[in-house]
Protein backbone atom coordinates (compact mmCIF):
# COMPACT_ATOMS: atom_id res chain seq x y z
CA UNK A 1 0.00 0.00 0.00
CA UNK A 2 2.56 2.59 1.08
CA UNK A 3 5.66 2.90 -1.04
CA UNK A 4 8.94 2.04 0.62
CA UNK A 5 10.49 5.14 -0.91
CA UNK A 6 8.22 7.45 1.10
CA UNK A 7 9.12 5.59 4.30
CA UNK A 8 12.82 5.74 3.46
CA UNK A 9 12.58 9.47 2.72
CA UNK A 10 10.81 9.99 6.03
CA UNK A 11 13.48 8.04 7.93
CA UNK A 12 16.27 10.04 6.26
CA UNK A 13 14.62 13.39 7.05
CA UNK A 14 13.17 12.51 10.45
CA UNK A 15 15.59 14.84 12.23
CA UNK A 16 14.28 17.75 10.12
CA UNK A 17 10.72 17.25 11.41
CA UNK A 18 9.51 18.54 14.74
CA UNK A 19 8.05 16.14 17.29
CA UNK A 20 4.49 17.29 16.55
CA UNK A 21 4.94 16.91 12.79
CA UNK A 22 6.25 13.38 13.37
CA UNK A 23 3.13 12.51 15.37
CA UNK A 24 0.79 13.80 12.66
CA UNK A 25 2.78 11.99 9.95
CA UNK A 26 2.75 8.70 11.89
CA UNK A 27 -1.02 8.93 12.33
CA UNK A 28 -1.53 9.46 8.59
CA UNK A 29 0.85 6.57 7.96
CA UNK A 30 -0.94 4.20 10.38
CA UNK A 31 -4.58 5.19 9.89
CA UNK A 32 -4.52 6.14 6.21
CA UNK A 33 -6.12 9.20 4.60
CA UNK A 34 -7.90 11.44 7.09
CA UNK A 35 -9.21 14.94 7.56
CA UNK A 36 -8.02 17.43 10.17
CA UNK A 37 -10.86 16.79 12.64
CA UNK A 38 -10.12 13.07 12.66
CA UNK A 39 -6.41 13.74 13.14
CA UNK A 40 -7.30 15.93 16.13
CA UNK A 41 -9.49 13.20 17.58
CA UNK A 42 -6.78 10.52 17.22
CA UNK A 43 -4.11 12.75 18.75
CA UNK A 44 -6.28 13.52 21.78
CA UNK A 45 -7.16 9.83 22.20
CA UNK A 46 -3.46 8.96 22.21
CA UNK A 47 -2.83 11.65 24.83
CA UNK A 48 -5.46 10.06 27.09
CA UNK A 49 -3.33 6.89 27.24
CA UNK A 50 -0.44 8.81 28.80
CA UNK A 51 -0.07 9.50 32.54
CA UNK A 52 -2.14 12.45 33.68
CA UNK A 53 0.81 14.77 34.32
CA UNK A 54 2.26 14.41 30.83
CA UNK A 55 -1.02 14.75 28.91
CA UNK A 56 -1.55 17.47 26.41
CA UNK A 57 -4.78 18.78 24.87
CA UNK A 58 -4.43 19.25 21.13
CA UNK A 59 -6.31 22.08 19.40
CA UNK A 60 -7.32 22.21 15.74
CA UNK A 61 -4.93 25.05 14.94
CA UNK A 62 -2.00 22.93 16.17
CA UNK A 63 -3.02 20.04 13.93
CA UNK A 64 -3.52 22.15 10.80
CA UNK A 65 -0.20 23.92 11.34
CA UNK A 66 1.73 20.64 11.59
CA UNK A 67 -0.17 19.22 8.62
CA UNK A 68 0.64 22.29 6.52
CA UNK A 69 4.31 21.89 7.45
CA UNK A 70 4.26 18.31 6.19
CA UNK A 71 2.47 19.40 3.02
CA UNK A 72 5.04 22.11 2.26
CA UNK A 73 7.90 19.66 2.84
CA UNK A 74 6.28 17.18 0.44
CA UNK A 75 5.61 14.30 2.85
CA UNK A 76 1.84 14.35 2.39
CA UNK A 77 -0.61 15.33 -0.35
CA UNK A 78 -4.10 16.76 -0.62
CA UNK A 79 -6.63 14.23 -1.91
CA UNK A 80 -9.34 16.88 -2.36
CA UNK A 81 -12.76 17.31 -0.83
CA UNK A 82 -14.87 14.34 0.22
CA UNK A 83 -18.39 14.19 1.59
CA UNK A 84 -19.68 11.89 4.26
CA UNK A 85 -20.98 11.65 7.78
CA UNK A 86 -19.02 12.98 10.76
CA UNK A 87 -20.48 12.90 14.28
CA UNK A 88 -23.93 12.21 12.87
CA UNK A 89 -23.94 15.15 10.47
CA UNK A 90 -23.27 15.39 6.75
CA UNK A 91 -19.96 17.15 6.18
CA UNK A 92 -17.41 17.97 3.50
CA UNK A 93 -13.71 17.83 4.39
CA UNK A 94 -10.33 17.90 2.66
CA UNK A 95 -8.50 14.63 3.08
CA UNK A 96 -4.74 14.26 3.43
CA UNK A 97 -2.61 11.24 2.69
CA UNK A 98 1.03 10.21 2.88
CA UNK A 99 2.75 10.33 -0.51
CA UNK A 100 2.63 6.87 -2.02
CA UNK A 101 -0.40 5.75 0.01
CA UNK A 102 -3.08 4.60 -2.44
CA UNK A 103 -5.80 3.78 0.09
CA UNK A 104 -9.06 5.70 -0.46
CA UNK A 105 -10.89 7.32 2.47
CA UNK A 106 -13.27 4.69 3.82
CA UNK A 107 -16.95 5.73 3.86
CA UNK A 108 -16.39 9.03 2.06
CA UNK A 109 -17.27 9.99 -1.54
CA UNK A 110 -15.26 12.52 -3.56
CA UNK A 111 -16.95 15.85 -4.20
CA UNK A 112 -16.83 16.79 -7.89
CA UNK A 113 -15.26 20.13 -8.62
CA UNK A 114 -18.06 22.58 -9.34
CA UNK A 115 -17.88 24.88 -12.31
CA UNK A 116 -17.27 28.47 -11.33
CA UNK A 117 -20.54 30.35 -11.42
CA UNK A 118 -20.55 33.93 -12.62
CA UNK A 119 -22.50 36.24 -10.30
CA UNK A 120 -25.49 38.00 -11.88
CA UNK A 121 -24.61 41.32 -13.49
CA UNK A 122 -20.94 40.36 -13.80
CA UNK A 123 -19.39 40.68 -17.24
CA UNK A 124 -16.31 38.81 -18.31
CA UNK A 125 -13.45 40.63 -20.00
CA UNK A 126 -14.25 39.05 -23.33
CA UNK A 127 -17.84 40.32 -23.15
CA UNK A 128 -17.10 44.01 -22.69
CA UNK A 129 -14.85 46.48 -24.48
CA UNK A 130 -12.56 48.90 -22.59
CA UNK A 131 -14.66 51.90 -23.63
CA UNK A 132 -17.83 50.25 -22.31
CA UNK A 133 -16.03 49.42 -19.07
CA UNK A 134 -15.01 53.05 -18.68
CA UNK A 135 -18.58 54.23 -19.20
CA UNK A 136 -19.91 51.73 -16.65
CA UNK A 137 -17.26 52.72 -14.15
CA UNK A 138 -17.89 56.42 -14.67
CA UNK A 139 -21.62 55.83 -14.23
CA UNK A 140 -21.02 53.98 -10.97
CA UNK A 141 -18.81 56.74 -9.64
CA UNK A 142 -21.48 59.29 -10.48
CA UNK A 143 -24.11 57.28 -8.61
CA UNK A 144 -21.87 56.91 -5.56
CA UNK A 145 -21.17 60.66 -5.50
CA UNK A 146 -24.88 61.41 -5.77
CA UNK A 147 -25.65 59.17 -2.78
CA UNK A 148 -23.18 60.88 -0.43
CA UNK A 149 -24.57 63.97 1.33
CA UNK A 150 -22.48 67.11 1.23
CA UNK A 151 -20.71 67.96 4.42
CA UNK A 152 -19.93 71.53 5.35
CA UNK A 153 -16.78 72.27 7.28
CA UNK A 154 -16.58 75.25 9.59
CA UNK A 155 -13.21 76.73 10.47
Is 51 inside a domain boundary? yes
Considering the domain boundaries, does residue 129 fall inside one?
no
For residue 125, is it within any domain?
no
In a domain? residue 137: no
Give the CATH number, domain containing residue 72: 1.10.10.10
pLDDT in 10s for each residue of the chain, 155 residues: 555 555 666 666 666 788 899 999 999 999 999 999 999 999 999 999 999 999 999 999 999 999 999 999 889 999 999 999 999 999 999 999 998 888 999 899 999 887 666 666 665 655 666 667 677 666 665 555 555 565 666 65
Whole-model pTM over 0.75: no
User: Does residue 104 sit within a domain?
Assistant: yes
Residue 24: Cβ within 10 Å count: 29
Query: What is the total count of domains within the chain?
Result: 1
- Residue 152 lies inside a defined structural domain of this protein: no
Segment holding 23, helix H or strand E: helix 19-31
- Report the pLDDT value the prediction gives residue 18, as an integer from 0 to 100: 87
Query: What range does the domain containing 60 cover?
Result: 4-110
Q: How far apart are CA 98 and CA 28, in angstroms?
A: 6
Q: Is residue 118 part of a domain?
A: no
pLDDT at residue 125, as a whole number: 59
- Is 121 within the bounds of a domain? no
Amino acid sequence: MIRDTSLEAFEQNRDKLGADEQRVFEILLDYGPNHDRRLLEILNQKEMQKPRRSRRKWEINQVTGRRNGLLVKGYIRDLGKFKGSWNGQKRKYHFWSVNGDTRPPVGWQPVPKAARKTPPGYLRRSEISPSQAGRVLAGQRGKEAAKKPMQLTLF
